[in-house]
Amino acid sequence: MTEPDRQSPDAPSATTPSGLASERGNAASTDEVGAMFDRISGVYDVMNAVISGFQEPRWRRRAVAMTEVGPGGAVIDVATGTGKVARSLKDRVGPSGRVLGVDLAPRMIDRARAAYGRRPGVEFLVGDAMHLPAEDATFDAATIAFGMRNLPDYERGFAEMRRVVRPGGRVVCLEIARPDHLIARISRVWFEQVVPFIGRLAGQGEAYAYLVESVRNYPPPERIAEIMAAAGLVDVRWAPMTLGMVTVHVGTRPPDD
């Protein structure tokens, strides 16, 4: 498929999305989101580690385990970024399994290919979560980690993931949440005040201000479960992690679909 034009790291700040939400999802265009992630690709992994308090590997392992795929399975990872979830999925499905990672940002895909693209059974493609580059009922599971809140239409994003998994297959979504208990509120102050500051130190202040705003505007776990059900998924449930700072949702494509 044809990859979109690459953005310069010095592209004007006007292309940085606001993080605001529409009735259906993120208010930003896919072009704005893709350009922003191209610009932060060089600091993405380090920033994820710092922002998560180095908890991201544990969260990723939990999400991968919830796919319940086994050796020889096939999984698609949407908004794959630099490919870490895809790598963990490949470890789970083994040498005979297949993993496809898809991301809107070409520079993210370049990094994923450089790190993991030589492993047999792993492929990375530039693609849009609203129009996944896969046939119907191709995969045993689909994952998205910290990418759903960037989509312009959450229900359509889940519906696309449902479309490409086989009947009985699982859709897993790992995302930042905003719990209300006291300890979480203290942590949220740190997140909302310190993350943009760290982003400025990394030369990407606007992008990490967007991160904070997009988390503020992302629906609560109960609403995400409703959206997943509206997208045709069944047996939807979720589990909080790290005092509720992140939530992993899982739903199933109906076995008789």
Task: Summarize pLDDT for 13-32 with one digit per residue, the tens.
Answer: 446 788 888 889 999 988 89
In percent, the amount of the chain with pLDDT more than 70 equals 88
Of 68, 76, 33, 87, nearest to 168 by C-alpha is 68
Contact 196, 215 (CB under 8 A): no
Output the pLDDT for position 4. 36
For residue 203, pLDDT beyond 80? no
CB atoms within 10 A of CB 95: 10
In a domain, 1, yes or no: no
In a domain, 254, yes or no: no
Contact 63, 248 (CB under 8 A): yes
Strand-pairing partners, residue 143, are 77, 172
Range of the domain at 199: 23-249
Rounded to an integer, the average pLDDT of 45-70 is: 92
In a domain, 8, yes or no: no
For residues 147, 150, 156, 157, the Cα torsion angle rounded to the nearest 10 degrees is: -10
In a domain, 7, yes or no: no
Render pLDDT for 229-254 as a digit per residue (tens, 0 to 9). 999 999 999 999 988 889 999 999 99
If one counts the domains in the chain, the total is 1
In a domain, 11, yes or no: no
In a domain, 14, yes or no: no
Torsions phi, psi of 251, nearest 5?
A: -140, 165
What pTM, to 2 d.p., does this model score?
0.89
195: domain CATH number? 3.40.50.150
In a domain, 3, yes or no: no
